[in-house]
């Protein structure tokens, strides 16, 4: 099986020993994305909505680099630090799909990289 590394300047550079995504056998595995603005390198977290929008923009950039879009997404995992913010995150997240929602789980965690509030990973299929 061939593995193709997907990295784009339109999403934040990895902050550790990993790639933004790996395409293997027509399946794209996108690493968890946080609210880093790829142009400035700054966190975009004025509020949970802005933070979630930036995460989704980063994911969109990676999908685009792989020749895909949100319609190709079959699974997402959302990590949040406060389940009380679930509805705000869910509202923003839902706007990126045209009613063709993937499978998903949402997990509350004690902390995330750079102490952000939300991280989302995806699996997409061509």
Could you give the count of Cα atoms lying within 13 Å of 65 in the half-sphere of its Cβ? 23
Instruction: Tell the burial category of 81 from Cβ atoms under 10 Å away from its Cβ (0-12, 13-18, 19+).
Output: middle
Domains and CATH numbers, the chain: 3-125 (3.30.1330.40)
Summarize pLDDT for 42-71 with one digit per residue, the tens. Answer: 999 999 999 999 999 999 999 999 999 999
First-to-last alpha carbon distance for the chain, in angstroms, is: 16
Q: What are phi and psi of 81, to 5 degrees?
A: -95, -10
pTM recorded for the entire structure: 0.97
Question: How does pLDDT run across 93-115, given as a tens digit for each residue?
Answer: 999 999 899 999 999 999 999 99
């Amino acid at each position: 099986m061939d593995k193709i590394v997907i990295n784009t300047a339109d999403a934040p550079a990895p902050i550790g020993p990993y790639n933004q995504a790996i395409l293997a056998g027509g399946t794209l595995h996108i690493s968890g994305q946080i609210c880093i603005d790829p142009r400035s390198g700054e966190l975009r977290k004025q509020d949970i909505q802005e933070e979630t929008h930036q995460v989704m923009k980063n994911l969109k950039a990676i999908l685009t680099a792989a020749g895909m879009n949100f319609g190709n997404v079959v699974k997402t995992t959302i990590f949040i630090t406060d389940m009380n913010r679930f509805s705000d995150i869910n509202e923003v997240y839902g706007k990126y799909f045209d009613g063709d929602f993937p499978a998903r789980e949402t997990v509350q965690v004690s902390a995330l990289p750079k102490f952000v509030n939300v991280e989302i990973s995806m699996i997409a299929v061509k």
